[in-house]
């Protein structure tokens, strides 16, 4: 395929912060006496913070919450999450991912991040990729989260590329849907690959090297 750019989701593709997210949501939910487990946590993949909170609150049985209450809870979760992210280091970036990025860059491809997370810049710094990508589109510059294609379309715009020239790499079905909605082809890994959601369903991110040719 004749792609000119690759747009990567961050969490679950470049690195994994799933466990950090889970622990933070779990502590917040436990404090509200809301049942929360890994099955519910899986529904939060690729979803914005406030939408994730609404999913968790489906099992909430306490007094009615105001919008201000919800904002406070979301902030509490994010504070717990960001505190735990300080434990991340360059060891959280696998050699396989680094080698793949460098090989793709060596082929002349533009590389970007398309993530719903507002913590994207902080995470990239922690794993040694601050300033590495040609463009970073994240939760700080979008108003609609996946499966809306906004985050990927903005990444393509920042790169100066047409959507058809961009390949998206995603691990969440909602992210694959977002890529397709934006007129892009999608290479899937993880859960999305297991669901057969992508145009290519990879067992390893290294397969990207063969997909782009």
Q: Which of 9, 148, 171, 191 is catalytic?
A: 9
Distance separating alpha carbons of residues 3 and 29, to the nearest angstrom? 43
Distance separating alpha carbons of residues 145 and 139, to the nearest angstrom? 8
DSSP 43-60: TTTT--HHHHHHHHGGG-
Q: Is residue 30 flagged as an active site residue?
A: no
Query: Closest by alpha carbon to 120, among 161, 69, 147, 154?
Result: 154
96, 205 contact by CB (below 8 A)? yes
Distance separating alpha carbons of residues 12 and 186, to the nearest angstrom? 15
Q: Which of 11, 92, 138, 148 is catalytic?
A: 11
Q: Is residue 11 flagged as an active site residue?
A: yes
Spatial CB neighbours of 63, under 8 Å, sequence gap ≥ 6: none
Residue 192: burial class (beta carbons within 10 Å; 0-12, 13-18, 19+):
buried
In this structure, what DSSP letter does residue 204 have? Answer: S
Catalytic residues: 9, 11
């Amino acid at each position: 395929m004749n792609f000119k750019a690759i747009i990567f989701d961050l969490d679950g593709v470049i690195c994994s912060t799933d466990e950090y997210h889970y622990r933070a949501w779990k502590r917040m939910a436990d404090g509200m006496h809301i049942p929360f487990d890994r099955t519910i946590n899986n529904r939060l993949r690729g979803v914005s913070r406030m939408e994730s909170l609404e999913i968790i609150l489906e099992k909430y049985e306490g007094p009615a919450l105001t919008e201000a209450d919800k904002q406070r809870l979301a902030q509490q979760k994010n504070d717990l999450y960001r505190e735990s992210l300080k434990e991340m280091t360059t060891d959280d970036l696998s050699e396989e991912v680094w080698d793949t990025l460098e090989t793709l860059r060596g082929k002349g491809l533009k590389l970007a991040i398309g993530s719903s997370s507002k913590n994207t810049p902080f995470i990239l710094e922690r794993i040694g990729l601050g300033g590495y990508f040609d463009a970073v589109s994240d939760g700080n510059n979008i108003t609609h989260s996946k499966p809306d294609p906004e985050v990927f379309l903005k990444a393509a715009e920042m790169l100066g590329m047409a959507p058809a020239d961009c390949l998206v790499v995603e691990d969440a079905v909602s992210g694959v849907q977002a890529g397709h909605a934006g007129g892009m082809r999608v290479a899937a890994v993880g859960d999305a690959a297991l669901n057969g959601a992508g145009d290519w369903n990879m067992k390893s991110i290294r397969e990207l090297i063969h997909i782009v040719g």
